[in-house]
Amino acid sequence: MTYISMETKCKLNSLYGKYVQDVNNLLKQEEERIKNMKSKKTQENEQQERSYLELQSFELKRVKEAKGGVVFFDAAINGITIYGMKIVPRKDQSGDFVAWPSTKGNDGEYHSTAFAFLRPETEKSIMAAVQEKLDE
């Protein structure tokens, strides 16, 4: 059995205590660094604003009502004619939305063939124009 003096035990306990404190401090610093990094990413995401399509001209070319409350339409938006747009009821029944043309892929999912973000007021004005055309 090896004999360790009381002085050596005290030094070892002191070193061990300092080591534990250092490890805990490093863990706290790392947690703070990760927290700041996540906060910075959140701020960056909030600062990145979507690019919305600015509606300068809009003309309906064709409107056709289909089953299930879906309305298909073709529209000239800012001089570009887009075929196969539609107004679709939301699954959660919270209203309708403007859907861009899409095709079914080999994976069974539908993929947009054209897409742009629309501001809510732009979407409402498009839906109102389509409704007006349906009412004629």
Q: Which tens digit of pLDDT belongs to each residue from 111-134?
A: 999 999 999 999 999 999 999 999
Mean pLDDT confidence for 24-48: 74
| pLDDT at res. 32 | 85
Q: Which tens digit of pLDDT belongs to each residue from 63-114?
A: 999 988 899 999 999 999 999 999 998 888 888 999 999 999 999 998 999 9
In whole angstroms, what is the distance from residue 126 CA to residue 130 CA?
6
- pTM surpassing 0.85? no
Q: Write down the architecture of domain 58-135 according to CATH.
A: 2-Layer Sandwich (3.30)
More confident site: 8 or 2: 8
